[in-house]
Amino acid sequence: VIAHIRHTKTKYVELISRGYDRYDARSLVQPEVETIVEQWEG
């Protein structure tokens, strides 16, 4: 579920395509991923 959110609901793929390292890109989108997970959990 986390990977789905990261790839479809954030700019993760865009960051990767711009040359960001995947670990850096994950760190940048992590707060947004956590917010979405919290919303989905209700």
pLDDT at residue 6, rounded to an integer = 98
The model's pLDDT over 10-38, given as tens digits with 9 standing for 90+, comes to 999 999 999 999 999 999 999 999 999 99
What number of other Cβ atoms are within 10 A of residue 24's Cβ? 11
Q: Would you say the pTM of this structure is higher than 0.95?
A: no
- Total structural domains in the chain? 1
Burial category of 32 from C-beta neighbours within 10 Å (exposed 0-12, middle 13-18, buried 19 and up): middle
pLDDT at residue 13, rounded to an integer = 98
Q: Which domain holds residue 26?
A: 2-41
